[in-house]
Chain A
Amino acid sequence: MSQGNSQESNVQTTGHVWDGDLQEFNNPLPAWWLWSFYATIIFSVVYWVAYPAWPLGDSFTKGITTITYKNDKGVEKTTHWSTRALLMKDLQDARESQKKYFDMVAATPYEQFAKNPELSNFVASAGKVVFADNCAACHQSGGQGKMAFAPNLTDDDWLYGGTHDKIQASITNGRHGIMPAKGGADLNEGEIESLANYVLSLSGEKMDAAKIAVGDELFHGKGLCIACHGADAKGNQDIGSANLTDKIWLWADVPAQGSADKKVAAVKAVITSGLNKGVMPAQNGRLSADQIKLLTVYVHDVLGGGSKK
C-alpha cells in the first residue's frame, strides 16, 4: 500500500477511510453516459403518456396513442394502443394488399384459373405456403404422398375423385377410409392367399394361375369384395374404395417387394387386418373458404394430378 500512497493523483476521494489508509477514489460518470441516462428517464415519461403503462387498482392508464381498426362486422373502431388491436389492423392491412388477388380467387370459376397468368402465379406461390403448413405433414412437401399413410396427389389416381369440386369436398369435410378386416367376409388363410394372387394379377403381376381362378371366384362371390371395389375392381369414388387395376398402391407397398411371395404377403396383410387409418381431418373451421379454394386449385392445377371428370 505504501507504493499506492506514493502515486498521489488529483482525483478526489469519497472521504471514506478504512484501516487507517484505505481510500476510495470518486471518479464521476462520463458526461455522455450521464446524459444518455437522463434521456432514457425523459423517454420513459413520454412512454407512460403515450402507451398503456401504470396499474390503477383493477384498471390501468391507457395512454393517448390510438389504433383504428375494423371489427369482425366491418365497423371502424378506435381504441387505446394494444397489441391485439394492432394485430387486427396488421391483418387487415395485409388483407388489403392481397385483396386484389383474393377477390379474384373468390370470383373466378375453377376452370378459368389456368387462363389467367397473374392469378396462376399467385396460386402457385400462396398455395405452396398454405399447403406446406397444412397438408405437407401427411401428403409430403411435393404432394407425392406417403406409402401406407397418405395418397399421392400428383398422379391421376383419385380415391374420392380428382375434380375441383371433389377435391374441395375432401379438404373441407375431411375423409375417413374404412375397409373391414377380411372385407367383412368369413375367409380362411388359403382363401386370402388366393384373393391376394388375384388382386395382384389385376395390375399385371404374373401370378399362380390356379390361385387367380379361385381368387376371381372369391372376389366376385363369397369375399364380398365387389360390394365396394366393384365387379371390374376399379373402385368407387363415392365411397373412396381403391381402383385395384392401376398398379398404384397406397396401403400394400407392392412396388418395394422384391419377390412374388413378398408381394402376396403385403396384400394379404391388408386384406387380413382391414383398414381404418385413412383419416384426413376436416379443414373446415381451421381454414377460411378462400384458403380452401386456393388449396383446391393448387392441388388440382399446380401439383398437376387433377382430372376433369
Chain B
Amino acid sequence: MIEHGKIEKNIGLMLVLTLIAISIGGLVEIVPLFFLKGTVEDVKNADGIKMVRPYSPLEQRGRDIYIREGCYLCHSQMIRPFRDESMRYGHYSLAAESQYDHPFQWGSKRTGPDLARVGKKYSNEWQVQHLIAPRSMVPESVMPNYPWLLTALDTSDVADRMKALRMTGVPYSANKAEHDNNVKEFGADVAKQLHIPDARKNLIEQAQTGKYDGNAADVTEMDALVAYLQVLGTMVDFSKLDNDSFVKFR
C-alpha cells in the first residue's frame, strides 16, 4: 500500500492514479460493447444480401454537407424505443443503421425533428423548397434558410473522401477483389456504387438521373444533400423482418 502522504506530495503519481480512477467508469461501460454479440444487429434480406449499405458517393457528399452546415446541431438521427417516438417518427433506430456513419449523427438535442426516418417522407421538390426557405413550407419553423446549396458541388475529391472512410472500415472497394466481395455482400448494383475508382462517374450519374434539385443538367450541393436525406432510414425494410428478432440483441 502506498502511503497517503506519498501520493499527496507527488503530483505526477497523483495525476496517473487520478486518470486510472476516472477512466474505470468509461472502460466498464464502453469496452464490453465491443465484445458483445449483437451490439450491431445483422439485418439481411432472405437472399442473404445485407440491407444496410454504405452511402453512394453522392449521398456521402450530401452527408459531408449535412455536417458542414451543422444540421446535427438541431436535428438528431436516433429514434429511441419509446412509444411516443415510434408513433411520431417510425420504427426505432437500429445500431446497424448507423454502422457506416463516421462519425454517427445520433445527437442528443432536438430543436428540429429527428431525421432518422425522413427519407421518402417528402418529395424531392419539398426538400429543395424547404431548404431554400423553410418558412415558405412550414410557417412556424425556426430553421435558417440555405439558399447557397444550389451552387455547384465540388466533386474533385470524392474518391479521396471514400478512401479515408475505407481506412475506418467502411467497405468501399479499391480493387477487383474487394469489389467482388461487395457483390456478394450487397449485390451488384450497390457494389458498383461502392467502387472508389468509379466514384466521380457514379456521383454525376446519380445526380443527373435522380434530378434531386429538379435539374438534370448540373450537379449541385442540393442534389447531394437531398439524395442523402431521401435515403435516411429507408435501407432496412421492416416489413420483411420480424420485430421480435431485434429483442434478443438488448
Residue ranges of A at the interface with B (Cβ–Cβ < 8 Å): 16, 52, 55, 57-60, 71-73, 77, 79, 82-88, 90-91, 94, 133-134, 137-138, 146, 149, 276-277, 279-281, 285-286
Contact = CB atoms under 8 A, between A and B. Distances in A.
Nearest to A55: B32
Contacts of A87: 81-83, 86, 92
Q: Give the 3 A-B CB pairs with smallest separation, nearest first.
A: A55-B32, A71-B244, A279-B123
A286 B120 contact: yes
A101 to B, nearest CB: 15
Interface residues of B, number: 35
B81 A83 contact: yes
A160 to B, nearest CB: 16
A146 B137 contact: yes
Nearest to B137: A137
Contact of B247 (A59, A60, A85, A94): A85
B246 interface: yes
A96 B35 CA distance: 39
B122 A281 contact: yes
13 contacts: A55-B36, A58-B37, A59-B36, A84-B247, A84-B250, A85-B247, A87-B82, A87-B92, A137-B130, A277-B125, A279-B124, A280-B123, A285-B239
Nearest to B29: A55
A72 B244 contact: yes
A272 B211 CA distance: 20
B102 interface: no
Nearest to A57: B35
Nearest to A56: B32
Interface string B216-250: 00000000000000000000000100111011111
Interface centre among B4, B33, B244 (most CB of A within 10 A): B244
B176 interface: no
B186 to A, nearest CB: 22
Contact of B126 (A55, A60, A83, A137): A137
B214 interface: yes
Contacts of A276: 214
A16 B37 CA distance: 51
Contacts of A149: 125-126, 129, 137
Contact of A84 (B81, B130, B137): B81
A59 to B, nearest CB: 7
B222 to A, nearest CB: 14
Contacts of B90: 286
Given A138-B123, A286-B120, 15 more contacts: A55-B36, A71-B243, A71-B244, A77-B244, A79-B248, A82-B247, A83-B81, A87-B92, A88-B244, A91-B86, A137-B137, A137-B138, A277-B123, A279-B123, A279-B125
